[in-house]
Chain A
Amino acid sequence: MSDKRDVSLPPVREGMANRGKPVEKPKDMRGTLRRLWSLCRGHGRGLGWIMLLSALASASSVFSPFLIGRTINSIDGGLSAVWLIALLAGLYVSDWLVRFIQQYFMASIGQRLILHIRGTLFDAMKSLPLAYFDRHRHGELMSRLTNDVDNISTTISDSLSQLMIYVFTIVGVLAIMLISNVILTLISCSTVVLIFILTRVITVRTRKLYKQQQSLLGRLNGQIEESISGLSLVKAYSRESAMIREFEDCNEQYCTAATSAAITSGYLMPLTSVINNLSYLTIAVVSGIMAARGGIDVGVISSFLLYSKQFSRPFVDIANIYNNFQSAVAGAERVFEILDEQPEPEDVADAVPITRIRGDIELRNVTFGYGKENPVLKNVSLTVPAGTRVAIVGPTGAGKTTIINLLTRFYDVDGGEILLDGVDLRSYRLRDLRRAFGVVLQDTSLFGVTVRENIAYGSEETALEAVRSSAVTAGADAFISRLPQEYETVLDGGGSSLSQGERQLVTIARAVLVDAPILILDEATSSVDTMTEQKIRAAILRLTAGRTSFIIAHRLSTIRDSDVIVLLQNGEIAEMGNHGELMSLGGLYAEMYLTQTGN
């Protein structure tokens, strides 16, 4: 699966603008948080400091309106105003220091935490068995490595420190307001209630609209993806205008739904500030009347007006922070799922190190299936003496590739055993075992590095001479020499500039270079033309001399000269022998061979 999509930075959070978008809920908040905490171990002290600094950072918003009020009160009162101003200046300077230190350190602590989690995740991922990668979409795994990890640490450290600031602000401001004047405090609090009601009303409405928007977006993106991936076909059949019509239909519907969702949710911010203005004017009028009647002084008016501007904000934001926090914890759960996956089985305690391999292979009553129900291989037994050239043939789905998966221990057998030089594969060290195989796989995967590095992938030898000579053996040298920078040409996009046949030649060269005692070629020549295949076949003949080798090919002409041909059908060995024997048997092999050669 090649989920090739560039992921961009997550969009800047729009504060409350997304209220009502479906929030993912974690399954086990408490347990996940406990695990997260243990994952953060070693960063605990840094996080502690950040929390402490966050608490201090709230001091300015709590005390400065109060101080300003007192200052205004005593503006013509002589000396005390000077002291109050000095105090205020001190408060501002320390606020600056605290904020600077907090943000500066949070930048590196946060990123170090991300790096740690990301590294842990990748390490866990790389030792997962192949079955895991076969079962999961790659795009999904990628988004765990990037988005989920980023979310966990930024949201958690950001939200926690923001939460800290807000809690201290609310408590502090409320205390000072209550001490100053109870009636004005109640007016401020009623604003918060109004905003809560507004939020509720809007959220209920947007939830449905967002759901609709999301499903239309899915359809629109699906249409775009499909028609652009298949653009050459669209052109071949002159379907451009039909595709555009279909697209415009999706686009229009999406736009209508998205606009109504945006308008509804967009009311929240401006209407909140209208409510704030309302509260400002109420406080101004009420406190004005109270002051005119001599109940309070101007300083109190001033403080309350300043508080009213910032009091409701934390309440509104806390709900938002909680949502972000929830989806981050849900992301953490997805990350933990990967960490909890069973990695590839560990080597047994008395694992046998491999020093020299003869290459005797024996399958004893091997049974295996990818799911519980359908066994792909049923009770297969096969003895391959060292140095034998084995070809495995059979219809699609007969279990040819599965044998390769079992030999390299990409998967382990369900029943029976596989022996290498008389020892069960599972008794070897996995790394040693895989080093014993030179593998050319069905999918021709190349990396975005130079041709030389691609061929040298997995081998210690990276010198150009060695690389070139294995390319010559594989018959790849000729086309590589024609590339712009020859062996130093960087293969962008996984080698998409090469033809599939050329990519295959590179992977063959790679297997040649590792020089392993046992060779596996899985459909390695399927998309190479027959002329090139001739060259490869010659190379393989040279290469397999004296080595145990397994070759899987659709085209029977390529494996005619194998020592043993194994015909698999429905997970069982149906026929076995060399070409001549099987032809004279007159069974399925003979029939397949004759149809393929057109006789």
Chain B
Amino acid sequence: MKLIVRYVRRHIGMFLLGILFLSLETFAELLQPTFMAGIVDNGVANLDVAAILRYGAVMLAITAVGAVGAVARNIFASRTSQTIGKELRGDLYKKTQTLSHENIDRLQTSSIITRITNDVTQIQTFVNGLMRIMMKVPIMCVGAVTLLIIQTPSQLPIMCVILLVSGVLIAANMKLGYPRYGQLQKRLDRLNEVSREFLSNVRVVKAFNAEERESAKFGDAAESFASAGVSAARVLAVFGPLINLAVNFGIIALLWLSKAQNSAEIGRLMASVNYMTQVLFSLGMVSNILNNAVRATTSAARVSEILDEVPKLTEPSAATAVTADISGEITFSNVTFTYAGAARPAISGVDFTVKAGETLGIIGATGSGKSTLVNLIPRFYDPTVGCVEIDGQDVRKLATDNLRGAIAVVPQKSLLFTGTIADNLRWGDENADEAAIHAAAKTACADDFVRSFPLGYDTVLGQGGVNLSGGQKQRLSIARALVRKPKILILDDCTSALDATTEARVLGGLGSGAQGATVLLISQRISTVMRCDRVLCMENGLVAGIGAHDELLASCPTYRAVYASQIGGEAV
């Protein structure tokens, strides 16, 4: 809720103007019965048609004012809520762009996306409703009660009783309803989770004859969702009609009292009854508002969680940030890194230097820490202990743009974005000319297949565009890195979908294409890394050995074992 208040406050002028016009509209509506009372008590009672028309003219003028209010508040409400939605979406988006990998790991990508899309819309709908029906209801209620008491002051005590009773009922309704709706949302999440799991694992379910098991799981989730639904709806079923009854008895009391006192003017009595029915309509909306508020609060909490997230990696302050011409020497001094919540470090005591322009192969078992190691260089994560240096400078002291500008990463999973192939390759360097792009694509063995498309480099990828094979994507993402002309090139096992021949051609081409960059090449295949200047062999987060292929074969038992398993014992 605090979040919503904060954003509303930014547009407090528009918001208040909206509420002002809303009040104008509501009061115009509320004044009608009062003047109607005049028609009856002065016009009809005295048989004075001129008086009736006079009152009618006043009512018409009031209606006109009300219409102006209605039009204005509509514009203000729509504008304000859409603007708040836009800003909230924008702030969230910008915030996510500053988050580090560690934050993202924790929040989960899919959940961040839902928050930016669905939850923001939910809040926007709420703000819009706030400036329409939600504010109108209390204004209407208070106004009707006030006018009612002005009309017939003798009704004050009875009104108090009715208001008290309805108030208690509404409070009880909220108290009981609120947690039940929360529960309902939780059970719905569970239901979604179960069906998602079934759908994405359907092969396993069928292969293991587990249909009945999944059916039972789904049945349970659906059952508990249904019972939460029943329990939430029953609260409304109990309180909704009760509130109705309380107000209706107010009407009875009004009629009864005027009968007993025998003094009330008929017109006023009619106006009072009208006000009572207006109160009734307003209170009928309460459950709806409650419902909306519950959802908006949940959404606001989810949105705030992202906005309040503190980026784990901080940019060095401008004063100390070093902008350097990077040549590409990388040093790990005694680096240990532990993932948040992990019991054991992913890598520990890693110590080595790669000279500028050197090609280092990295090999090791699954989970031995290869990817973790290279992720520390562009500061996707910061080491827990020790430090990573480039050209003798701690990477944490370098300006992030400067640092990442000198590095090109080709991740394991090749991602391309909506846009043309050329657009995607220009990620590496926005100002790259056509020749540079073609050259990079040639080095990555991508030029041929790109040219085979009718639109060549202008072929659109992504939504509604051409679908590429895994190998084609990998080659494009290598080309993208080459366009950057990086000082440090990190290839994280990114040739897995290429057949051995193409892989050899691509990696062979890097020698000329990478133009003296320091290359870190992670691979599972020993045939790939053995061509590198030196090889780093990882085991369980520790460095098992580093050196040229022949040295390692002689000195490092882990490397020897890998070699034997792939190339075969006969070659040793």
Closest A residue by C-beta to B430: A242
**Chain A stretch 66-122: residues in CB contact (< 8 A) with chain B:** 68, 71-72, 75-76, 81-82, 85, 88-89, 92-93, 95-96, 99-100, 103-104, 106-108, 110-112, 114-115, 118-119, 122
Q: Are B415 and A230 in touch, CB under 8 angstroms?
A: yes
Return the CB mask of A10-47 against B: 1 if under 8 Å, else 0.
Answer: 01101000000000000000000000000000000000
Does A434 sit at the interface, judged by CB under 8 A? yes
Q: Chain A: which residue is nearest B243 at the CB level?
A: A96
Closest residue on chain A to residue B93 by CB atoms: A247
* Residue A340 CB within 8 A of the other chain: no
**A170, CB-defined interface residue at 8 Å:** no
* CB interface residues, B 228-270, toward A, < 8 Å: 229-230, 233-234, 236-238, 240-242, 244-245, 248-249, 251-252, 255-256, 258-259, 262, 264, 266, 269-270
The stretch of B9-17, B182-190, B319-327 in contact with A is B182-190
Least CB distance, B161 to chain A, in whole angstroms: 16
Partner-binding segment picked from A300-308, A366-374, A414-422:
A300-308
Q: Is the CB of B252 within 8 A of A89?
A: yes
A130 interface contact, C-beta 8 A? yes
Contact between chains at A284 and B59 (CB < 8 Å): yes
B1-57 residues at the A interface, CB under 8 angstroms: 25, 28-29, 32-33, 35-36, 39-40, 43-44, 47-49, 52-53, 55-56
* Residue A232, interface by CB 8 Å: yes
A14 to B63, CA, bound (A): 24
Structural contact, A237 and B404, CB atoms closer than 8 A:
yes
**A72, A92, A446: residue with the most chain B Cβ atoms closer than 10 Å:** A72
Whether a CB of chain B sits under 8 angstroms from the CB of A190 is no
Minimum distance in angstroms from A564 CB to a CB of chain B: 20
User: A589 to nearest B CB, angstroms?
Assistant: 13
Q: Tell whether, in the assembled complex, residue A302 and residue B273 are in contact, meaning their CB atoms are under 8 Å apart.
A: yes
A226–B424 Cα gap in the complex (Å)?
A: 13
Partner of B196, one of A110, A130, A138, A244: A138
Taking CB as reference atom, which chain A residue is nearest B86?
A: A255
List residues of B (279-315) whose CB comes within 8 Å of A's CBs: 288, 291-292, 295, 299
Segment at the B interface, from A266-274, A318-326, A353-361, A378-386 = A266-274
Alpha-carbon separation in the docked complex, A111 to B400 (Å)? 55
Known: A103-B233, A104-B237, A224-B113. A285 touches B203 (CB 8 A): no
Return chain B residues, CB-CB under 8 Å to A221.
117
User: Which of A139-147, A191-199, A330-338, A565-573 lines the interface with chain B?
Assistant: A139-147
B113 → chain A closest CB, angstroms: 5
Contact: A281 with B59, CB < 8 Å? yes
CB distance from A310 to the nearest CB of B (A): 8
Interface centre among B44, B299, B365 (most CB of A within 10 A): B44
> Is A107 touching B233 in the complex (CB atoms < 8 A)?
yes
Q: Are B116 and A228 in contact (CB under 8 A)?
A: yes
Q: Are B365 and A532 in contact (CB under 8 A)?
A: yes
A528 vs B364: C-alpha distance in the bound complex, in angstroms?
10
B151 within 8 A of A: no
A2 to B226, CA, bound (A): 26
Q: Which of B366-415 contact A (CB under 8 A)?
A: 366-368, 378, 380, 400-401, 404-405, 407-409, 411, 415
Chain A, range 500-533, C-beta contacts under 8 Å to B: 500-502, 507, 510, 514, 527-533
Decide yes or no whether B508 CB sits under 8 A from chain A. Answer: no
Closest-by-CB residue of B relative to A291 is: B44
Which residue of chain B has the shortest Cβ distance to A227 in the bound complex? Answer: B417
Residues of A within 8 A of B155 (CB): none
Does chain B have a CB within 8 A of A251? yes
- Report which of B196, B215, B252 forms a contact with A92, defined as CB distance below 8 A: B252
The 3 closest A-B pairs by CB, nearest first: A458-B208, A598-B527, A501-B366
Sample of 30 A–B contacts (CB below 8 Å) = A5-B110, A5-B114, A8-B118, A8-B119, A11-B125, A96-B248, A130-B202, A228-B113, A231-B97, A236-B407, A236-B411, A239-B427, A262-B78, A273-B25, A273-B29, A280-B36, A281-B60, A284-B55, A289-B52, A395-B499, A434-B207, A448-B197, A457-B204, A482-B344, A494-B201, A528-B366, A529-B365, A529-B368, A530-B524, A599-B567
9 further A-B contacts with Cβ under 8 Å, apart from A72-B266, A240-B97, are A115-B223, A222-B418, A266-B132, A284-B36, A284-B59, A457-B208, A457-B210, A530-B526, A596-B500
